[in-house]
Amino acid sequence: MVKLDKVHLRQLLRSQTNLLDSPQKLNLSNIIMSKVLELEEFKKATTVMCYISMDQEVNTLIFLQNCIDMGKKLCVPYIDLNIKGLMHAVQITDIESQLKVGSYGILEPKDISKKVEPSQIDLIIVPGMAFDMGKRRLGRGAGYYDRYMEGILPTTAKCALCFDHQIIENVPVEDHDKCMNIIITPTRTIY
């Protein structure tokens, strides 16, 4: 039953996000990303892992560049298609030259030789389809982030970014689903 609820919820939220036009999404994304830059968890972090946004997600591209410009060790996800369900964090130092279109049409590192262990991540910024006030997360359904977060330290801050309509009353969860520490929308920061 939970899986079916998740499928329907993803469809509903995808259609709601599609109602936002590109300028709206970019404006809201910029508001969210400015709030991330003010987080103590971000300021203290040496190593940051952040997703590379797709069209329906909070845009992270400017933030990724900010991390590099600020001297943070920036890691982005790489999906290993040779081992089903495995995601790695790979350090990049240049967005323009070090990314290519990869798995699922998502930008990913061209060179995966600079893998960073999950235990080295101070702050992980994750996408999602829906969240609730209990900081539960509904992802896209493949489980990459949930499995990856099994290896991070308890001290690693887990931050999710979303638009306001993606905060719902109750996210259906299963035992393997990971909760966040922080959720940031354009209008609020949820701890």
Q: For residue 1, what pLDDT band results from cuts at 50, 70 and 90?
A: very low
Distances in whole angstroms, Cα of residue 90 to Cα of each of 109, 122, 154, 163? 7, 14, 20, 27
CATH number at residue 55: 3.40.50.10420
Query: Given pLDDT bands bounded at 50, 70 and 90, which one contains residue 3?
Result: low
Residue 163 predicted with pLDDT over 60:
yes
Task: Show the domain range for 54.
Answer: 2-190
4 vs 71, higher pLDDT: 71
Distance between CA 124 and CA 156 in Å, rounded? 7
Q: Share the mean pLDDT of the chain.
A: 95
The percentage of residues in the chain with a pLDDT greater than 70, rounded to a whole number, is 98
pTM: 0.94
- If one counts the domains in the chain, the total is 1
